[in-house]
Chains A and B, each alone.
Chain A
Amino acid sequence: MSTLRVSIWRGRDDGRFVTYEVPRQASQTVLDVVTHVQRHVDPSLSYRFACRVGMCGSCAMTVNGVARWTCRTHVSKVVDGKSSNRGGVPVSRPAPMATSDAGDAAVDGTTEGSDGDGGSLTIAPLANLPVIKDLVTDMREFFDKWARAKGQFKGASTRQDDFARVMPASPQRRLADAGIECIGCGVCYASCDVVAWRPDFAGPAALNRAWTLVNDVRDVQQPQRLRAVAGDAGCHACHTQGSCTERCPKQLAPTAAIAGLKRATARAAMRGKL
């Protein structure tokens, strides 16, 4: 039975990587690894998960420098830095030390016959967010930005009115549908260089949601929304680097949404309507 050496961030924004040894299984996700550490090695490890089947986005963490859903990341795909930081995505925490902390790390009971050569992994919390503890981040600012970008629907109909008729194949509805599946996991936000450079930048998720609402023909606060997403705290700070689109676990394209917002705000500004 081989073992996997996994370095996990412990602490808050100040902290350190602690190395654990975990039995390597043939079919194993990164979430399995974290769960094993918490259940059998160190119960004080804090982390988030919910569905564990790739639907909720709660288990998003930084694995070998890349933001991913840990329940949907097979260890075999990322072990030994196979899928490590591919150019440009910010890694906000220092690289792990080579030695483990003797007091904390405990090799699992199944050391007999273990050759330790199951590879290595580094797991850290999502970037660009304050750390509450270990692998858990404070996502309030992520959702506050969503609200500030007018990411909420507001309609004018009442229950007395007839249903709104929106054709799914209409151009606007197609654009909205292309981005509507976002579940707010934060992977795009954690992958964005501009979020790292500009703390007030709304970020890809908030702007993607705003774009789906810009294309919602029932919504009645379009002028306010365009004003909210214009400027350097909004869509205009995006440099189209595309890490968000590259990393989105639901294959959404915030880059395209932001480009759409740039076009919409430019048109509105030219007509004096911004």
Chain B
Amino acid sequence: MSAATQARQGEAMSAATQARHWYWQRISAMVLAACVLVHLVTIVYAVRSGLSGEALLARTRGSVAFAVFYTMFVLACAVHVPIGLARIAEEWLGWRERASALAARAVALAIVAMGLRAVYAMVFA
């Protein structure tokens, strides 16, 4: 629709933005597919070599690889999850685009904050 129509209909997002959301959703899904696989392998390894707090921290503290990998994981989640939740809110709860866009932004910030805080705690604290 034209910008004028968009403004009239109170649409929060332009066609270009929505198209970008679509391909960022796909790109982040590819990143997550790889991350989840590595994460599962890591869990299997961790289960075998000890799950106590000390055992985990002994492996992650000071590990640059861990920091890099899980930061990437957190950022991919922060892209993928909010877009998905916004769509679900619109289709299943009947939310309007403005409301779902706002909630998505809030969820994205929460994931970044909590996720990076966790990575920091495991590696640098």
- Give the B-binding residues of A (Cβ under 8 A): 194, 197-198, 226-228, 230-232, 234, 236-237, 262, 265-266, 268-270, 272, 274
Are B13 and A231 in contact (CB-based, < 8 A)? Answer: yes
Are A228 and B19 in contact (CB-based, < 8 A)? Answer: no
Are B1 and A269 in contact (CB-based, < 8 A)? Answer: no
> Which among B13, B15, B22, B91 is the interface contact of A262 at CB below 8 angstroms?
B22
Interface centre among B16, B23, B90 (most CB of A within 10 A): B16
What residues on B are CB-neighbors of A274 within 8 Å?
14-16, 19
Are B18 and A236 in contact (CB-based, < 8 A)? Answer: yes
Please report which residues of chain B, range 34-79, place their CB below 8 angstroms from some CB of chain A when the two chains form the complex.
none
Name which residue of chain B comes closest to A194, CB basis. Answer: B91
Are B90 and A265 in contact (CB-based, < 8 A)? Answer: no
> Which among B20, B87, B90, B97 is the interface contact of A269 at CB below 8 angstroms?
B20
Are B16 and A269 in contact (CB-based, < 8 A)? Answer: yes
Name the distance in Å between B5's Cβ and chain A's nearest Cβ. 10
What residues on A are CB-neighbors of B2 within 8 Å?
227
Given contacts A194-B91, A198-B91, contact A269 B13 (CB under 8 A): no
Name the distance in Å between A233's Cβ and chain B's nearest Cβ. 8
Are A231 and B18 in contact (CB-based, < 8 A)? Answer: yes
What residues on B are CB-neighbors of A266 within 8 Å?
19, 22-23
Name which residue of chain B comes closest to A226, CB basis. Answer: B15
Given contacts A227-B1, A228-B1, A231-B13, contact A236 B91 (CB under 8 A): no
Name which residue of chain A comes closest to B13, CB basis. Answer: A231
What residues on B are CB-neighbors of A270 within 8 Å?
23
Name which residue of chain A comes closest to B26, CB basis. Answer: A266
Please report which residues of chain B, range 4-32, place their CB below 8 angstroms from some CB of chain A when the two chains form the complex.
11, 13-16, 18-23
Interface centre among B1, B2, B92 (most CB of A within 10 A): B1
Are A232 and B19 in contact (CB-based, < 8 A)? Answer: no
What residues on B are CB-neighbors of A197 within 8 Å?
91-92
What residues on B are CB-neighbors of A228 within 8 Å?
1, 15
What residues on B are CB-neighbors of A232 within 8 Å?
18, 87, 90, 97
Name which residue of chain B comes closest to A268, CB basis. Answer: B19
What residues on B are CB-neighbors of A198 within 8 Å?
90-91
Are B19 and A236 in contact (CB-based, < 8 A)? Answer: yes
- 16 A–B contact pairs at CB < 8 A? A194-B91, A227-B1, A227-B2, A227-B15, A230-B19, A231-B18, A232-B97, A234-B15, A236-B18, A236-B19, A237-B87, A262-B22, A265-B22, A268-B19, A269-B19, A269-B23
CA A269 to CA B20, docked complex, whole Å: 7
CA A269 to CA B16, docked complex, whole Å: 5
Name the distance in Å between B29's Cβ and chain A's nearest Cβ. 13
What residues on B are CB-neighbors of A227 within 8 Å?
1-2, 15
CA A30 to CA B16, docked complex, whole Å: 46
Are B18 and A230 in contact (CB-based, < 8 A)? Answer: yes
Name which residue of chain A comes closest to B18, CB basis. Answer: A231
CA A186 to CA B43, docked complex, whole Å: 50
CA A198 to CA B90, docked complex, whole Å: 8
CA A270 to CA B17, docked complex, whole Å: 10
Name which residue of chain A comes closest to B20, CB basis. Answer: A269
What residues on A are CB-neighbors of B23 within 8 Å?
266, 269-270
Are B1 and A236 in contact (CB-based, < 8 A)? Answer: no
Are A265 and B15 in contact (CB-based, < 8 A)? Answer: yes
What residues on B are CB-neighbors of A226 within 8 Å?
15
CA A268 to CA B19, docked complex, whole Å: 9
Are B92 and A265 in contact (CB-based, < 8 A)? Answer: no
What residues on A are CB-neighbors of B90 within 8 Å?
198, 232
CA A14 to CA B22, docked complex, whole Å: 38
> Other than the known A232-B87, A237-B87, what 16 A-B pairs have Cβ atoms closer than 8 Å?
A197-B91, A227-B2, A227-B15, A231-B11, A231-B15, A231-B19, A234-B15, A236-B18, A236-B22, A265-B15, A265-B19, A266-B22, A266-B23, A269-B15, A272-B16, A274-B16
